[in-house]
Amino acid sequence: MKLNVAGENKEYKEGLTVKELIALENVETPEYVTVSLNDEFVDQGAFESTTLKDGDVVEFIYFMGGGK
């Protein structure tokens, strides 16, 4: 199946979950990542049960704090 991950088109096996994709992509600090799937946020509790489909668009987002 083909996915667009962080702006790149890539091939993956069918039935891949968000959790598996995070591991395959070696996402830094996965406990802090927010995942956008087709412009919708995926709840962290659903990473293991959310199965990706051909043509999905996935982005990994980190919210940073800081400033004064």
pLDDT tens digits for range 21-31: 999 999 989 99
Span 13-28, mean pLDDT? 96
User: Thinking of the domain 2-61, which architecture would CATH place it in?
Assistant: Roll (3.10)
- Confidence at 15, pLDDT banded by 50, 70, 90: very high
pLDDT score of 63: 79
pLDDT score of 67: 63
pTM: 0.90
Domain ranges of the chain: 2-61
Sequence-ordered list of residues with C-beta below 8 angstroms from that of 47, at least 6 positions apart, any chain: 17, 18, 19, 22, 35
